[in-house]
């Protein structure tokens, strides 16, 4: 049967329910318990023979003469974070001929239905609610995807995530766990004295990261604005204002390519602590990740792409120079010339643009050649200064940044550093970034005069951290495409 025929048939059924005087889409359910509560206390409630009211979406209906079995879920979860289902046991002798026939002919898989009855076990020992009354809560006009295959088109799953969630317990559980991860991140930071703040999404200057922004226009003010690529420069303004520990967890937008680890719209955590440095922030990151793994997953390791990643030991620390030496066979990045590095990049299959600096080329080599080989939690430290325009110089090594990245399972999850708080040096760094922009680097930072002015009022020494929440979810949940970690990823319209 064609979809339009099915739809018309269900519209007709909805009208027949209305014709009886019933409301097809009532405002509220009289549900007395969730399915998760019922399953936990099944024996006790069943023995009491107490009448209860349950509700949920029907996923399967099976008719056997004078008996109908309907499997339904209400969105509640088991202790293992799996959606709970229950069977409705509808008998003709309980409802009567007319009401039983009406249920049989009016109710379809996909409908939300309220059941009134008592808990019981069937002859096959299946937990059920024996139904003595029912009510339509919402008539579905379109059929759900076939139960066992769901949405076979991967892109269709992302476009119609509501069906993906409804039909796949795995997907539903994944996003429940993602929510718990975010909740526990907030709990961790709150417990350590960080204050959650919200800063602007529309910026007059796109700053705080090396990325190409989305541009928009505000009609009333007649000015161009950018969707934020990072909240960093505004959170640092809060440090200047006297807030000692601060974080923001929200959306960023970058006008970049889409691949398995990049989506133009993504969730980012940034947190800052005044009077601290990169070493302190590294320790905070390590404590946070160990806390998350233990709190959310109740263990000290997670599996990712066939590897077991352990969180019961101190994280490794290795320099950017040493990791290039180890995996890209670049003996000493600091002494290699720009032309020699370009040649090496080409030999490794890494593309190079004319405007690329040594730092950017080496970073691209790191991303392609080195990073995939780093499996266990490892902090990479001492990056080239020219790719770290907002970080302090490393003491005793002015060409290096006091910065770190955390790599796990070949993914970069964390970036942090001792924050630059010298306004004159910050302006000089911005001006160098401007030169790179003029040379064709569209991701180089713009000069933010207002931020420099704010810094001139005095910014305390501070450490800062950025964590991509979508990539963190990918890692912790062992999924390998960022679209699987984002409820509604950016897609090309049909």
Supply the pLDDT for residue 322: 95
Distance (Å, whole) CA 189 – CA 383: 27
pLDDT tens digit string along 154-172? 888 999 999 999 999 999 9
The position carrying tokens 């939690």 is 377
Provide mean pLDDT across the span 445-473: 95
Token readout for 198 is 């919200």
Strand partners, 273: 245, 463
Supply the pLDDT for residue 335: 86
| Confidence check: pLDDT of 151 > 70 | no
Supply the pLDDT for residue 148: 44
Supply the pLDDT for residue 401: 94
Supply the pLDDT for residue 2: 87
pLDDT tens digit string along 223-260? 999 999 999 999 999 999 999 999 999 999 999 889 99
Q: Say which CATH class 167-315+377-484 falls into.
A: alpha beta
pLDDT tens digit string along 68-85? 999 999 999 998 889 999
- In contact, 406 and 315? CB cutoff 8 Å: yes
Supply the pLDDT for residue 149: 52
pLDDT tens digit string along 371-429? 999 999 999 999 999 888 888 999 999 889 999 999 999 999 999 999 999 999 999 98
| Confidence check: pLDDT of 332 > 90 | no
| Confidence check: pLDDT of 270 > 90 | yes
| SS3 state at 188 | helix
Q: Is 233 exposed, middle or buried (0-12, 13-18, 19+ CB in 10 A)?
A: buried
Distance (Å, whole) CA 74 – CA 227: 38
Instruction: Give the closest residue to 121 by CA, choosing from 178, 26, 39.
Output: 39
Strand partners, 91: 67
pLDDT tens digit string along 281-313? 999 999 999 999 999 999 999 999 999 999 999
* Residue 459: C-alpha distances to residues 99, 233, 272, 276 (Å): 73, 12, 12, 12
Which of 96-110, 139-153, 354-368, 479-493 has the lowest average pLDDT?
139-153
Token readout for 292 is 């998350």
Q: Where in the chain is CATH 3.30.930.10?
A: 167-315+377-484
Q: 3-144 domain in CATH 3.30.590.10?
A: no
pLDDT more than 90, % of the chain: 84
Distance (Å, whole) CA 321 – CA 110: 57
- In contact, 184 and 291? CB cutoff 8 Å: yes
Token readout for 163 is 């069906």
Which of 49-63, 81-95, 173-187, 384-398 has the lowest average pLDDT?
384-398
Supply the pLDDT for residue 428: 92
Higher local confidence (pLDDT), 438 or 323: 323
Q: Where in the chain is CATH 2.40.50.140?
A: 3-144
Distance (Å, whole) CA 69 – CA 44: 23
Instruction: Give the closest residue to 482 by CA, choosing from 214, 262, 242.
Output: 262
Supply the pLDDT for residue 152: 67
Q: What is the mean pLDDT of the chain?
A: 94
| Confidence check: pLDDT of 104 > 90 | yes
Crossing angle for the helix pair 358-365 and 320-328, to the nearest 10 degrees: 60
| Confidence check: pLDDT of 219 > 70 | yes
Burial of 268-288, coded b for 16+ CB within 10 Å and e otherwise, reads bbbbbbbebbbeebbebbbeb
| Confidence check: pLDDT of 39 > 80 | yes
Which of 35-49, 375-389, 438-452 has the lowest average pLDDT?
438-452
Supply the pLDDT for residue 60: 95
């Amino acid at each position: 049967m064609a979809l339009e025929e099915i739809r018309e048939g269900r519209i007709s059924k909805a009208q027949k329910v209305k014709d009886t005087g019933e409301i097809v889409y009532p405002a509220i359910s009289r549900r007395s318990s969730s399915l998760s509560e019922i399953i936990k206390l099944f024996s006790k409630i069943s023995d009491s023979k107490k009448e209860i009211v349950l509700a949920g979406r029907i996923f399967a209906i099976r008719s056997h003469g004078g008996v109908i079995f309907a499997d339904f879920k209400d969105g509640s979860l088991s202790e293992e974070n799996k959606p709970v289902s229950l069977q409705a046991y509808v008998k003709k002798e309980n409802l009567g001929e007319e009401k039983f026939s009406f249920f049989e002919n009016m109710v379809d898989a996909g409908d939300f239905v309220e059941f009134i009855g008592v808990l019981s076990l069937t002859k096959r020992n299946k937990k059920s609610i024996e139904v003595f009354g029912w009510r339509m809560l919402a008539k579905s006009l379109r059929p759900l995807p076939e139960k066992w295959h769901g949405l076979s088109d991967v892109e269709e799953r992302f476009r119609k995530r509501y069906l993906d969630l409804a039909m796949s317990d795995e997907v539903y559980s994944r996003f429940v766990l993602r929510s718990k991860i975010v909740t526990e991140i907030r709990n961790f930071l709150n417990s350590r004295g960080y204050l959650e703040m919200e800063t602007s999404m529309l910026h007059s200057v796109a700053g705080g990261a090396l990325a190409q922004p989305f541009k928009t226009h505000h009609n009333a003010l007649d000015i161009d604005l950018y969707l934020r690529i990072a909240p960093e420069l505004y959170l640092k303004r809060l440090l200047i204002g006297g807030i000692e520990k601060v974080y923001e967890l929200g959306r960023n937008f970058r006008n970049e390519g889409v691949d398995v680890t990049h989506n133009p719209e993504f969730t980012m955590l940034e947190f800052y602590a005044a009077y601290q440095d990169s070493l302190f922030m590294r320790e905070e990151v390590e404590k946070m990740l160990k806390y998350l793994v233990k709190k959310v997953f109740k263990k000290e390791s997670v599996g990712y792409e066939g590897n077991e990643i352990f969180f019961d030991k101190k994280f490794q620390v290795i320099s950017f120079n040493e990791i290039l030496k180890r995996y890209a066979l670049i003996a000493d990045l600091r002494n290699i010339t720009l032309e020699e590095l370009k040649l090496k990049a080409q030999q490794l299959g890494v593309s190079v643009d004319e405007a690329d600096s040594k730092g950017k080329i080496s970073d691209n080599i790191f991303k392609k050649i080195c990073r995939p080989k780093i499996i266990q939690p490892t902090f990479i430290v001492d990056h080239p200064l020219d790719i770290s325009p907002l970080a302090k110089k490393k003491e005793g090594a002015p060409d290096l940044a006091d910065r770190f990245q955390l790599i796990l399972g070949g993914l970069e999850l964390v970036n942090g550093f001792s924050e630059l708080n010298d306004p004159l040096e910050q302006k000089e760094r911005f001006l160098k970034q401007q030169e790179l922009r003029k040379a064709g680097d569209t991701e180089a930072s713009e000069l933010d005069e207002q931020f420099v002015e704010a810094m001139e009022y005095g910014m305390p020494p501070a450490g800062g951290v950025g964590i991509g929440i979508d990539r963190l979810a990918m890692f912790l949940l062992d999924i390998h495409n960022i679209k699987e970690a984002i409820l509604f990823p950016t897609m090309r319209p049909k």
